[in-house]
Amino acid sequence: MDIKGIKEIKNLVQLMSESDLTELTIEKKDLKLTLKREKAYYSDIQPTFTPKLTGAQPSLESPQAGDGGQTAVEAAFEKDHHFVTAPLVGTFYSASAPDAPPFAQVGDKVKKGQILCIIEAMKLMNEIECDVNGVIVEVCCENASPVEYGTRIFAIKVG
């Protein structure tokens, strides 16, 4: 497993410790990751790895649609922007309430640690924070739409 994958697992463990989630399972074609903890013990998270033997190196990177046929413009956009991805499966909400303004919109300057949106999972509202400083250039999800783990939710021009 590469360093990026380990960092993503640590982020998932932190997300679980900050919420009421007691179990989280992520499956990809070459990896199954299950994190469990007892509800009363917030620091008792036990990861279980079950790699599938396909000969491929396990990876937690988000799948990129159309990687094989990317244009030069798309490749440049990918290189020059940071993507905030959904850390769990749930429903994306851009604001805290239907009549409230969105946490972040295109053109907004954002800072590391700033709340960008909420993802509801199993009746729990999980605040998703920005992990870089920059400017929002794209909101990739519609309000109240379902998201999968790894779904791009924001594109940010770092700076």
* Averaged pLDDT, 10-15: 77
Q: 148 and 81: one domain?
A: yes
Looking at the structure of the chain, the number of domains it has is: 2
Query: What whole-number percentage of the chain has pLDDT above 70?
Result: 72
**pLDDT by residue (tens digit) across 119-150?**
999 889 999 999 999 999 999 999 999 999 99
Amino acid present at 39: K
Write the pLDDT tens digit of every residue in 26-40.
887 777 778 777 654
Mark whether 94 and 149 lie in a shared domain. Answer: yes
pLDDT category at 1 given cuts 50, 70, 90 is low
Q: Are residues 44 and 76 in the same domain?
A: no
Residues 152 and 103 in one domain: yes
| 43 and 74 assigned to the same domain | no
| pTM confidence score | 0.54
Tell whether 45 and 75 lie within a shared domain.
Answer: no
Residues spanned by the domain of 129:
70-158
Query: Distance between CA atoms of 44 and 118, rounded to whole angstroms?
Result: 25
Phi and psi angles of residue 4, each rounded to the nearest 5 degrees, phi first: -60, -40
